[in-house]
Amino acid sequence: MENEIKLIKQARKGQAESFGLLYDHYCPKIYRFISLKINGKEEAEDLTHEVFLSAWQNIGNYNDRGYPFSSWLYQIARNRVIDHYRTRKETTSVDAVDEASFRVAPALDSALDGRTELERIKKAITSLNEDQQTIIILRYIEELTPAEIASIFNKSEGAIRLIQHRSINKLREILEENHGEFT
Amino acid sequence: MESLLRQLKTLRNTRPDPRFMARSRQELLRAPHHGSAGRFYYSQIKWRFFEGLSFSVAVGLAALLVYLSAGLISRGVQTKVAQDEPRPNFSISLEEAEYYKEVAPNIFVVVLGDKK
């Protein structure tokens, strides 16, 4: 982000509007990251708000180590999602949903096919372990570099690349088991 | 694999509700802020110092109060004892001394000295 360092310095001095500009730029990324890991739009919104609230209140603890501000935000978001799963259990079971409620008119089928496919991929992502989910999302969706991801995990780039390779293969296997389309 | 990677990229279209963003932003910027780490730690140290100082002052004042109270009470007790009790009179008449001479030879010697 342009002038990111300047905005961060101003935010640390208490200039709320500077933090607001950082929020405008990074909120969609953090929201996307969280919503791909948990179910529920409202829960994703709540957690996103909590991440930025924590960032605003603790921006004095942010150290610029040559990585974007987003790496720090992703770290907060990742920890917040882990805490979310520790304190709450998923109460909605897909198996409990009545399939008849999803029948739609044939004209809408093709439009929904794409969305259904994305939902299938999202579900496959959530069936990976936490590290694998995070790396898939950050590497292939948010397009962070392995070095940036390594700073979030406090691991080496080599370790990240290894997990990345295993994660994408695992994801492909899950999707092939369910559909056989991705080969 | 290429197809999977393309599908993953389309998930970038996931975006938050603009109304949520506006509401969240407004609430965030009204929230309290601690500023730089240095200022935050300074404010914590300052708060803890004054809190500790006020505690020490409170303990000192309480101790002083207890000391003064104990002093006042003991002085009052001494004054009362002095007022209530008459000054003891240790003088003994000669007649009593003669009597005591027979009963307590040692006391006779001490009180009257050598009268032989």
d(CA A65, CA A111): 45
How many pairs of residues across A and B have Cβ atoms under 8 Å apart?
98
d(CA A174, CA A93): 19
Question: pLDDT tens across B55-104, in order?
Answer: 778 888 889 999 888 888 888 777 766 666 666 666 666 666 666 667 76
The dihedral formed by the CA atoms of A3, B41, A155 and A89, expressed in degrees to the nearest 10:
-100
Give the per-residue pLDDT at A108.
46
CB contact (8 A) between residue A45 and residue B20: yes
Give the per-residue pLDDT at A16.
92
A56/B contact by beta carbon, under 8 A: yes
For testing the chain A interface, which of B5, B6, B7 should be mutated: the one with the most A CBs within 10 Å? B7
Specify which residues A96 forms β-bridges with.
none
Which DSSP string corresponds to chain B? -HHHHHHHHHGGG----HHHHHHHHHHHHHS----BHHHHHHHHHHHHHHHHHHHHHHHHHHHHHHHHHHHHHHHHHHHHHHHHSPPP-----HHHHHHHHHH-HHHHHHHH----
CB contact (8 A) between residue A60 and residue B27: no
Question: pLDDT tens across A139-164, in order?
Answer: 999 999 999 999 999 899 999 999 99
A21/B contact by beta carbon, under 8 A: no
d(CA A77, CA A48): 7
Give the Cβ contact number of residue A33 at 10 Å.
26
Q: Which of A56, A140, A172 sits opposite B31 (nearest CB)?
A: A56
Residue A127: is its pLDDT beyond 80? yes
The arithmetic mean of pLDDT across residues A94-118, rounded, is 52
Average pLDDT, chain A: 84
Specify which residues B56 forms β-bridges with.
none
φ, ψ dihedrals at B4, nearest 5°: -65, -45
CB A172 within 8 A of CB B2: no
Question: pLDDT tens across A36-71, in order?
Answer: 998 889 999 999 999 999 999 999 888 776 777 899
d(CA B79, CA B77): 5
For A:142-171, CB contacts with B below 8 A are 142, 168, 171
Q: What is the ipTM of this complex?
A: 0.77
CB A136 within 8 A of CB A171: yes
For A20, the closest chain B residue by CA position comes to: B25
CB contact (8 A) between residue B11 and residue A141: yes
For CA atoms B17, B19, B25, B31, give the dihedral sign: negative
| CA distance, residue A75 to nearest chain B CA (Å) | 18
